[in-house]
Amino acid sequence: MTRTRPTTSAAADAAAADVVDDDDADDNNNIKDNDNDNDNNHDDDNVNNHDDDDDDNNDNNRDDDDAANEDYNDDDKLSRRVENHDKLSRWVENHDLPPDFVIEGETQLTPEQTRHRLVFYQHAMTRNAKLNKNAGMMDKEKYDQIHTATLRHHLGEKSYNIKKDNNPLFYAWIKKYAILDVGETHVLVERPKKMNNAAVEGVGAEFPDQDKLRRPTYMERLYEDMLSEHGLHNMCETFHKRLANKYTNIAMPWVKLFTSTCPGCIAKMTM
Q: Of 174, 192, 212, which residue is a domain's last?
A: 212
Q: Are residues 13 and 147 in the same domain?
A: no
Classify burial at 171, counting beta carbons within 10 Å of its beta carbon; exposed 0-12, middle 13-18, buried 19 or more. middle
C-alpha span between 22 and 27 (Å, rounded): 10
C-alpha span between 124 and 97 (Å, rounded): 11
Q: Are residues 124 and 250 in the same domain?
A: yes
Closest to 11 (Cα-Cα) out of 129, 115, 91, 94: 91
Side-chain half-sphere CA neighbours of 252 within 13 A: 28
Report pLDDT digits (tens) over 121-173.
999 998 998 888 778 999 999 999 999 999 999 999 999 999 999 999 999 99
| pTM of this prediction exceeds 0.85 | no
Q: Domain span at residue 145?
A: 140-212
C-alpha span between 69 and 52 (Å, rounded): 26
Q: Residues 82, 19: contact at Cβ < 8 Å?
A: no
Return the amino acid letter for 10. Answer: A
Q: Are residues 129 and 232 in the same domain?
A: yes
Low-confidence ranges of the chain (pLDDT < 70): 1-96, 194-209, 271
Total domains in the chain come to 2
pLDDT of residue 20: 47
Q: Are residues 149 and 251 in the same domain?
A: no
